[in-house]
Amino acid sequence: MKKKATLLVAAAIAVQTLLAGSAFAAYKPEQDITVGINLLPSVIKPSGALGEATFNLQEDVHGTVTGLTGLSIDHSYAMVKLNGFSLLAVDPPLALINRPKT
Answer yes or no: is 35 within a domain: yes
Mean pLDDT of the region 53-63: 90
Question: Among 76, 88, 9, which residue's Cα sits nearest to residue 47?
Answer: 88
Q: pLDDT band at 45, cuts 50/70/90? A: confident
Separate counts of helices (H) and strands (E) for the chain: 3, 3
Q: pLDDT band at 41, cuts 50/70/90? A: confident
Q: pLDDT band at 80, cuts 50/70/90? A: very high
Q: Which domain holds residue 34?
A: 2-97
Answer yes or no: is 82 within a domain: yes
Answer yes or no: is 102 within a domain: no
Answer yes or no: is 62 within a domain: yes
Question: Among 100, 101, 11, which residue's Cα sits nearest to residue 63?
Answer: 11
Total domains present in the chain? 1
Answer yes or no: is 17 within a domain: yes
Answer yes or no: is 13 within a domain: yes
- The whole-model pTM stands at 0.63
Kindly report the length of the chain.
102
